[in-house]
Amino acid sequence: MIIVYWQAARRGQNLMLFNDETGREQSIGGFRENAQGFDAYVTTAEYDPRNSKNGLPNLEEAKAFVEVSRPWDLYGAQGAEVEPEVRPASTTPEPTDEPAAAAPPPQPVAGTPEPTPQASPPLPNKRWWEFWK
């Protein structure tokens, strides 16, 4: 059985396709909220500028744009219906552009003397663009 549903995401929602038989889950479309409104997209095998739309005024129009395209038909789920309930975000983190948090520096152990900092050699008098010399 193939299930099509909306799943909450960081700044919007993803339209997900889940196959009970294989256990495979994949995103087939979605939308994101930004300062200018909503950007909606449909995932297909090849690029087509008609598969995305920017600046939609509200959530309902963004969802309607994706659902009217019926992207699940491309994945062999003809006749499937989208569940009306939005599921919570998945437990796997979405990739972000932010670097991972650094681990805290190790604390010195009591009784171990700390090394004294050595004076570094003087830096050459070069401008920032002369780094290769």
Residue 32 within any structural domain of the chain: yes
Residue 131 within any structural domain of the chain: no
Residue 90 within any structural domain of the chain: no
pLDDT tens per residue across span 96-123: 455 556 666 666 666 656 666 666 666 5
Residue 58 within any structural domain of the chain: yes
With a cut of 90, say whether residue 40 has pLDDT above it: yes
| Total structural domains within the chain | 1
Give every strand in the sheet of 37-42, ordered side by side.
52-56, 37-42, 25-34, 12-19, 2-8, 82-87
Residue 31 within any structural domain of the chain: yes
The answer to whether the pTM exceeds 0.85 is no
Residue 39 within any structural domain of the chain: yes
Residue 34 within any structural domain of the chain: yes
Query: Which element (helix H / strand E) includes 65?
Result: helix 59-68
Domain that holds residue 22: 2-83
Instruction: Give 87's strand partners.
Output: 7
Contact 32, 14 (CB under 8 A): no
